């Protein structure tokens, strides 16, 4: 194993392979990818005619999130470290001594809760509610857990873009 290394998986692989590779430590996974220039615009014709390479996993982002959750993993949309300058040497200091978990677990929960509130259907929100409670209980530092609970309540009240 190589410590402190991220493994990124694109949508070029099949859904079956991608689902199996999650168990090997994939840390980032593309979803709902479009590979044509300007392809995220509503013009579907340009997507077909200028596609740079084929994608084989065409599941929606919500389907990918559900798959990750069903396997017991915590989907995250977090960009807090990058936004707050916790990059490079500073990030490695936190990663090497394990303190990055003080940010990753809470921020993963917060970004997942926000995503589900804004883009999830009711069934998915209900499916993830006990998982979120379980992941929240796994935060060992009571101060961080309490702050995460506060921010989850803020999300429920309509606040957005909350993070540690």
Interval 106-132: pLDDT, tens: 999 999 999 999 999 999 999 999 999
- Model confidence at 48, pLDDT cuts 50, 70, 90, reads low
pLDDT (mean) for 76-86: 92
DSSP string for 66-133: HHHHHTT-------HHHHHT--HHHHHHHHHTTTTHHHHHHHHHHHHHHHHHHH--HHHHHHHHHHHH
Checking if the pLDDT of 46 tops 50, the result is: no
d(CA 20, CA 30): 15
Checking if the pLDDT of 2 tops 70, the result is: no
Q: 149 is written with which tokens? A: 């609970």
Q: What is the pLDDT of residue 4?
A: 57
- What's the alpha-carbon Rg for the chain, to the nearest Å? 17
Q: What is the pLDDT of residue 47?
A: 47
pLDDT (mean) for 3-14: 81
Checking if the pLDDT of 58 tops 80, the result is: yes
pLDDT (mean) for 88-99: 89
């Amino acid at each position: 194993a190589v410590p402190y290394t991220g493994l990124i998986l694109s949508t070029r692989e099949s859904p079956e392979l991608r689902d199996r590779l999650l168990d090997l430590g994939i840390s980032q996974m593309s979803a709902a990818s479009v590979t044509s220039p300007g392809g995220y615009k509503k013009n579907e014709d340009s997507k077909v005619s200028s596609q740079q390479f084929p994608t084989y996993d065409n599941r929606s982002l919500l389907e990918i999130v559900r798959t990750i959750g069903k396997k017991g993993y915590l989907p995250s949309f977090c960009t807090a470290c990058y936004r707050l300058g916790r990059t490079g040497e500073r990030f490695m200091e936190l990663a090497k001594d394990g303190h990055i978990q003080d940010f990753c677990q809470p921020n993963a929960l917060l970004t997942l809760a926000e995503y589900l509130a804004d883009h999830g259907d009711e069934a998915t929100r209900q499916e993830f509610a006990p998982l979120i409670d379980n992941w929240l209980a796994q935060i060992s530092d009571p101060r961080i857990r309490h702050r995460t609970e506060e921010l989850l309540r803020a999300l429920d009240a309509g606040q957005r873009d909350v993070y540690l």
